[in-house]
Amino acid sequence: MGARVLVCVLLGTLCSLSLAQVKHWNRRLALCVSNSTVAEVEVELDRDELFYFDLETKQSVQRLPEFAEKWFVNPGFPAFAQQEVGTCRHNVAMDAKGEGYPLEEIDPPVSRVYPEDDVEAGVPNTLICFVTDFHPAPVKVSWTRNTEPVTEGVTETQYYSNRDYTLRFFSYLSFTPQAGDVYSCTVEHIGLREPLTRLWEPELQMDSEARETAVCA
């Protein structure tokens, strides 16, 4: 088989006659990967996710509280989303066969690591590993603390679609900053010759330094 992975994208736009006139961008994404269980359906507005369908719980999930308060999710969406996934998988198989199983375009990911909040010693925080501009799914993300693997406190998002139909993905690590700790986020993808690793260590201001700063100021 020439094509290792194929992704099917179904789009819906709600605005306008040309991209130059579009004020808001609303789209529905159905993603599936051949020979894999990876699949999802989400609805976006101006690149922000309104909600997505969780294939395991068979429920619609609104990730952002501001959207959850103001955006109504049709009760029929979960059933519709399951149909979308089925259609996606059917179309991928048929299209791949019809095109003679073409080679999949592969784009390697880029990544960066940053904290969710300002870093203070001993104050719980979240490290974010942002992975983007890759195609196709999946990516595998792993964390270490001082070279030791970390799995506790790790959560991940589903895949999001970029405007050019590459994908982006977030992995979160709950942690408490301590002086001397070094964290790493490692990304694995079919487009990388070797895993992509980013290091991060907290820049902490000690209490004595803070007092000196306050006096000098």
Nearest Cα to 43, choosing from 160, 136, 170?
Answer: 160
Average pLDDT of the segment spanning 85-96: 89
Statement: residue 170 has pLDDT above 90: yes
pTM of the predicted model over 0.85: no
Check residue 21 and give its pLDDT.
Answer: 63
Statement: residue 217 has pLDDT above 70: no
**What is the rounded CA–CA span in Å between residue 133 and residue 128?**
16
Q: What is the pLDDT of residues 107-163, one digit of tens each?
A: 999 999 999 999 999 999 999 999 999 999 999 999 999 999 999 999 998 888 888
| 64 or 181: which leads in pLDDT | 181
Cα dihedral 181→158→24→83 (10° resolution): 180
Mean pLDDT of the chain: 81
Check residue 23 and give its pLDDT.
Answer: 76
